Amino acid sequence: MWALIQNHRIKRLVNLRDKEEHVTAPSGRRSDLELASPGAADSPANKQASREFGVSKVAENLSTAMYLFGIGSGSLFAGPLSESVGRTLTYLVSTFIYLLFLLGSARTPTFGGQVICRYFVGLFSSATLSINGSSVGDQFRPVKRAFVFPILAWANITGPMISPIASGWIASNPNLGWRWTEYTTLIISAVAWVVALLFLSETYLPVLLDWKARQLRRDTGDKRYVSDHSTGSLFQRVKSILPLPIIFFSTEPVISVLGAYLTLLYSIMFTFLSGFDYIFQQLYDLSTGQTGSCFGAIAVGSTIATFAAPALYAWTRRKTKFEHGATVPPEFRLWPAIITSPLLPIALFWLGWTNYQTISIWSGLFACGIFGIVLMSIYISSYEYIIDSYGEHAASALASITMVRYVVAGGMVMASRPMYEGIGVHWTMTILGCLSVLLAPMPLVFKSYGSQLRERSRYADSPVGMPN
């Protein structure tokens, strides 16, 4: 990062006048007129793939959008299936098929093949994204989740932020190229799948009780050992559970509003895949690898927020008076979001309206770090609030949020480049900042009225215990 800043300072001193007048750059360097073109703002993987397939670079963004659409549509099925056949089977089967399509995405010789493979990569990877929060809820008591869940959330958030850093340098390497971004993901995912195959155990209690009842029937011959989960056929159970994500998002205000908040955050995060080329690369004349490294600022912010997990855990234990197995009212989980939500519009306005060459690049990076803190805090609050509120239906509730946020984020990936080109960085960030202002009070509203909403809900639990 230090080398990035030093490089920027030198280039700014040498090229400031040329950049302002849009003159032709010296031989061997790109001019600023070229940097302002759509092609110059593409990531290296996008640029290389579009050249190889003979399509426009904007069209190549469709592969990323289809991946996000796949996650959104797959989430409709992953949550309900995990509540019917169990978490482990859902994880293992879907991830194995995901690996096959990931290999296809790396090897495909055509643009159409890449788009199709990327959709199914997203479709079958959706299980790990939509039900991992429920798996944490299965395994840990409410108080311990205050410490454990932020660690899981950190992995979910920093992964997409670290990927552009790695892919930028991989694609820039002439000995590797864009296909190795897929191969690298495949290698890491395959290792994780083998570890899961060997060590991952089932965590969903109704399925575990069903297995126990089945074992008792075999051992004793007594057919009276039956669990509630085993009533009806598999098809009937899946049929009854499958509509739940849509029902949750359309009828539960908590799911709708928190889902909208996370959708906005993820839309901003994925628009940065194109936006950082305009925010940092064009303005500060960074290389492609250096531009990808700017995503490290968001990762640093999310990491800083994660460091608050021990303090949050200690606060939860004190509030529950160290009682073993104490329940935690969902509204208590909203404190990280309540504290940090006002920082989101500040970070976006800051990033947009300090985006001038005369202002240090550190200003924009610092704003991105604040965005990372907010993203992490609201993610933690929203997921833990929903897990505590909806109990055994949490997987379907979280799946509904995952569905909406990734479908919208996929659309934003396609719209982001025209937005940055059409209205510029300043007004793009202003629009997103104004939307965040509207949503900023929502965590505080739910803290005041959340218990009343849960009482009216058909699916929500109402744990009692400590004061909010």
User: How far is residue 68's CA from residue 413's CA, in Å, rounded to a whole number?
Assistant: 9
Structure confidence at residue 435 (pLDDT): 92
11 assigned to some structural domain: no
350 assigned to some structural domain: yes
CB 51 within 8 A of CB 43: no
Q: Quick one: which of 336, 381, 379 has its CA closest to 158?
A: 379
Structure confidence at residue 135 (pLDDT): 85
Task: Supply the pTM of this predicted model.
Answer: 0.78
3-class DSSP string for 6-66: HHHHHHHHHHHHHHHHCCCCCCCCCCHHHHCCCHHHCCHHHHHHHHHHCCCHHHHHHHHHH
> The domain spanning residue 204 has which CATH number?
1.20.1250.20
Structure confidence at residue 21 (pLDDT): 37
CB 131 within 8 A of CB 87: yes
CA distances from 211 to 215, 222, 378 (A): 6, 15, 37
- Give me the domain span that covers residue 407: 43-223+243-456
420 assigned to some structural domain: yes
> How many domains are there within the chain?
1
238 assigned to some structural domain: no
33 assigned to some structural domain: no
User: How far is residue 69's CA from residue 87's CA, in Å, rounded to a whole number?
Assistant: 22
Tokens 């940097």 -> residue = 35
CB 336 within 8 A of CB 396: no
CB 128 within 8 A of CB 95: yes
> Which residues of the chain, if any, have pLDDT below 50?
1-43, 463-468
Structure confidence at residue 13 (pLDDT): 39
Strands (E), 337-436: none
Give the max Cα distance, the chain: 87
Structure confidence at residue 233 (pLDDT): 62
Chain centre to alpha carbon of residue 186: 19
CA distances from 246 to 2, 235, 381, 410 (A): 47, 19, 22, 19
Dihedral sign for Cα atoms in the order 233, 236, 239, 242: negative
Cβ neighbours of 34 (radius 10 Å): 13
Q: What is the DSSP string of 137-171?
A: HHHS-HHHHHHHHHHHHHHHHHHHHHHHHHHHHHH
* DSSP-derived secondary structure letter, 328: -
320 assigned to some structural domain: yes
Q: For the chain, what percent of residues have pLDDT higher than 90?
A: 24
Dihedral sign for Cα atoms in the order 431, 433, 436, 438: negative
CB 120 within 8 A of CB 70: yes
451 assigned to some structural domain: yes
Percent helix, strand and coil across the chain, each to the nearest 5: 80, 0, 20
CB 50 within 8 A of CB 384: no
326 assigned to some structural domain: yes
